[in-house]
Chain A
Amino acid sequence: MIRFLLGRFAYLVPTFIGITIVAFGFVRLLPGDPVLLMAGERGISPERHAQLTEQLGYDRPIWVQYFEFVGNLFQGDFGNSLSTKKPVLDEFLTLFPATIELGLIAILIATLVGIPLGVFAAIKRGSVFDQVSMGAALVGYSMPIFWWGLLLIIFFSGILGWTPVSGRIDLLYFFPNGTGFMLWDSLASGQSGAFTSAVRHLILPSIVLATIPMAVIARQSRSAMLEVLSEDYVRTARAKGMSPFRVVGIHALRNALIPVITTIGLQIGVLMAGAILTETIFSWPGIGKWMIDSISRRDYPSVQGGLLLMAGVVMIVNLIVDLLYGVINPRIRHK
């Protein structure tokens, strides 16, 4: 197990270096000039432009800028945003809870719906339930998020008027930023209706964000379950006279979960990408929306810092998933 973990850590170093290069390079490859964009419609004189560029250090060779970026990282300095002048790390930490909240609820929905769906489809293989749910999963998997989000908004917000279109809570409610987790803060504020409002705002975006992971998890659960159900130890469990619940829900499921956990881990990265679109559609004030805004402003420090932090989060989550994998799979644990 220790060796397994050390292996994982050793793997993180080159990954990290790769990510700094990509994060640094990506935004600079985009056409557009941050100084010009800062100046806006009014334009800017060539002298002022040169002065600002020098001030920001963008006149220096690219590799000097890169090593300064990495050097600062080691001092915990992610740079300051060009537009707000605030430290990128502060901006990230302020907005991050909104994204965690959305992502966590989404992955929870995806897991809690996806696994049972896949398991039942496997047990009732070939049945109408199997065909309908796996057909739906295939559709969900290939659903363009943007289109799907808009469709849900039109139906549930526009036609039925059940859910709000954007934001995290009604403007009616106001409370100082506590933890940044709206579900918690709204409950803690004690204002009646605040929590319900927060939930209502969360429903559509989390469903949209959950759709693709849910489809992937359901399909993976089904195939893992089908494979496991024909194993000798499942026959043994039945030969021992165990109830169908124990045979399927304990003996088979525990083994089927091993590949499913890996899949869920891989979906975290997909979720981050999905969050960028989802937050934009629903004006959800999280990291995803912040990234899109920063990219359109060519806010170099925000984009490179933000990308790096997001990648860091995905890496940490994957590490946790690997740990969990060891917990659930004894054959790994004892290596």
Chain B
Amino acid sequence: MALLEIRNLTVSFETSTGLFHAVKGIDLSVQEREVLAVVGESGSGKSVAMLASMGLLPKTAKITADVMTFNGRDLLTMPDTERRKIIGRDISMIFQEPIASLNPCFTVGYQIEEVLRSHLGLNRADCRKRAVELFGAVGIPDPEKRLDSYPHQMSGGQCQRVMIAIAIACKPKLLIADEPTTALDVTIQKQILDLLMSLQEETGMGMIMITHDMGVVAETADRVAVMYKGRKMEEADVVTLFDNPSHSYTKALLSALPELATGDRLPTVSDFVDTASLQTEGAR
């Protein structure tokens, strides 16, 4: 049984100019121990699809799906109180902007201990002890002292490590990483990716790696789903996709890899395909 199973998910937003369809009927599934990469350029609906399954979209979002289950439990009909027991514990999520994702008014220690207390019911001393262990596990130096820091006293990379520590605090079955390295310096990007992959290997959790960077995909994923304008264009295991992309949009994404750059300018998707034709190609 798949860990997360999504079939025909659509998400649309009520806007002042009418309904805006951000996700137009996608299927996704992740198994235990599997890393699924979801790629696609900015605005293609990657974040919205994941936030929808976590139940984190605002009320203006209309969500429909034929199936949306986590570990066999129906996420669509689940009451909010039940959902809150699962998210943050069995499914957790980290985001693109690590500093902004942490609350500036509380110490990072408070923000991780809060999760341990509410999901695992640990007492004060055990929370502290576990928080120190977790900070150590994600490679934060001097964890005991760092727990009393505020986010603004830490770098972006350190904050992302804190976010990862919070995300793995309750040993989740699934970790959704929404462009976890996009906002970081290149050298730090590599460290964070390595950390995520080693944690994934150690714990055997499933992982969804959202990115628009094919380099990240190559380094992390078992399987890849390619999204464009709210639709899934194709899905394949990572070797097949890189060797033999079936879809022109995927080919375009691959050629946008910096290693393939010619001249002084990176190629972009529109250099390779007529974007208008993709709309019809992607329709099911």
Chain B residues whose CB sits within 8 angstroms of the CB of A240 once the complex forms: 87-88, 92, 114-115, 166
Given A238-B56, A239-B54, A330-B150, are A233 and B103 neighbors across the interface (CB < 8 Å)? yes
State A233–B84 Cα separation when bound (angstroms): 17
Is residue B129 within 8 Å, beta carbon to beta carbon, of the partner chain?
Answer: no
Does residue A254 face the partner (Cβ distance < 8 Å to B)? yes
With a cutoff of 8 Å between Cβ atoms, the chain B residues found around residue A243 in the complex are 84, 118
A225 smallest CB distance to B (angstroms): 14
Cβ-defined contact, B105 with A242, below 8 A = no
Chain B residues 77-118 with CB under 8 Å of chain A are 83-89, 92-93, 95, 97, 100-106, 114-115, 118
With a CB–CB cut-off of 8 A, which chain B residues contact A236?
A: 95, 101-103, 163, 166
B153 proximal to A (CB < 8 A): yes
Q: Which residues on B sit within 8 Å (CB–CB) of A231?
A: 100
Query: Is residue A168 contacting chain B, with contact meaning CB distance below 8 A?
Result: no
- The minimal Cβ–Cβ distance linking B160 to chain A, given in whole angstroms, is 12
How many residues on A have C-beta within 8 angstroms of the other chain's C-beta atoms?
22
Contact between B105 and A254, CB atoms less than 8 A apart: yes
Contact among A235, A242, A246, A331 with B104 in the assembled complex (CB-CB below 8 Å): A331
Beyond A235-B56, A240-B115, A334-B153, whether A251 also contacts B103 by CB under 8 A is yes
| A328 in the interface (beta carbon within 8 A) | yes
Chain A residues 17 to 71 lying within 8 A of chain B, measured CB to CB, are: none
- Is the beta-carbon distance between A331 and B152 smaller than 8 angstroms? yes
In the bound complex, do residue B150 and residue A241 qualify as a contact, i.e. CB atoms below 8 Å apart? no
The answer to whether the Cβ of B119 comes within 8 Å of any Cβ in the partner chain is yes
Report the separation of the CA atoms of residues A159 and B112 in the bound assembly, to the nearest whole angstrom.
58
> Is A157 located at the chain interface by the 8 A CB criterion?
no
- A255, B104: Cβ atoms closer than 8 Å: yes
Closest Cβ of chain B to A231, distance in Å, is: 7
A250-270 CB mask vs B (1 if < 8 Å, else 0) is: 010011001000000000000
Q: A270 CB to closest chain B CB, in angstroms? A: 27
Contact partners of A255 in chain B: CB under 8 A: 103-105
Q: Are B102 and A241 neighbours in the complex by a CB distance under 8 Å?
A: no
Give complex CA distance A232, B96 in Å: 10
> A237: CB under 8 A from chain B?
yes
Cβ–Cβ < 8 Å partners of B87 in chain A: 238-241
Q: How far is the CA of A236 from the CA of B178 in the complex (A)?
A: 12
Q: Is the CB of A242 within 8 A of B84?
A: yes
**A329 at the binding interface (Cβ < 8 Å):** yes
Near A by CB (< 8 A), chain B positions 47-71 give 54, 56
A330-B119 Cα distance, complex, nearest whole Å: 27
Tell me if B152 and A330 are in contact (CB < 8 A). yes
**Whose C-beta in chain B lies nearest to the C-beta of A231?**
B100
Interchain CB contact under 8 A, A232 and B166 = no
Knowing A239-B87, A241-B88 are in contact, say whether A233-B152 is a contact too (CB < 8 A): no
Q: Give the docked Cα–Cα distance between A254 and B166 (Å).
A: 20
How far, in Å, is B147 (CB) from chain A's closest CB?
14
When distances are taken between beta carbons in the complex, the residues of chain B under 8 Å from A239 are 54, 56, 87-88, 92-93
Interface residues of B in 3-41 (CB under 8 A from A): none
User: Who on chain A is nearest to B81 by CB?
Assistant: A243
Chain B residues whose C-beta falls within 8 Å of the C-beta of A330 in the assembled complex: 104-105, 150, 152
The complex places the Cα of A237 from the Cα of B97 at a distance, in Å, of: 14
Residues of A within 8 Å of B93, CB to CB, are 239
Instruction: Point out the residues of chain A lying under 8 angstroms from B106, CB to CB.
Output: 251, 254
- B89 and A233 contacting across the interface, CB-CB below 8 Å: no
A334 touching B119, Cβ below 8 Å: no
Contacting B at CB under 8 A, from A238-295, are 238-243, 246, 251, 254-255, 258
Provide the bound-state CA to CA distance between A243 and B119, in Å: 11
Q: Is the beta-carbon distance between B56 and A233 smaller than 8 angstroms? A: no
Structural contact, A329 and B105, CB atoms closer than 8 A: yes
Docked complex Cα distance between A11 and B104 (Å): 28
Task: Give the docked Cα–Cα distance between A263 and B19 (Å).
Answer: 39
- CA–CA, A255 to B104, complex, Å? 8
Smallest beta-carbon distance A253→chain B, Å: 10
CB distance from A204 to the nearest CB of B (A): 38
Min Cβ gap B87→A in Å is 5
- CB B167 to nearest CB in A, in angstroms, measures 9
The 0/1 profile, CB within 8 Å of B marked 1, for residues 312-326 of chain A is 000000000000000
Q: Please give me the residue from chain A that is nearest to B163 by CB atom.
A: A236
Query: Across the interface, do B105 and A237 meet the contact criterion of CB distance under 8 Å?
Result: no
State whether B85 touches A241 (Cβ < 8 A): yes
Since A236-B103, A329-B105, A330-B104 are in contact, a sample of 9 more A-B pairs with Cβ atoms closer than 8 Å, ordered by chain A residue number, is A233-B100, A233-B102, A233-B103, A236-B95, A239-B93, A240-B92, A241-B83, A251-B106, A258-B105
Pick the 10 closest A-B CB pairs, nearest first.
Answer: A241-B88, A240-B88, A232-B100, A233-B103, A241-B84, A254-B105, A330-B150, A241-B87, A232-B101, A236-B101
* A–B pairs, 14, beta carbons within 8 Å: A232-B101, A233-B104, A235-B56, A235-B95, A236-B103, A239-B87, A239-B88, A241-B85, A241-B119, A254-B105, A255-B104, A258-B105, A328-B105, A330-B150
Residues on B close to A: CB < 8 A? Answer: 54, 56, 83-89, 92-93, 95, 97, 100-106, 114-115, 118-119, 150, 152-153, 163, 166
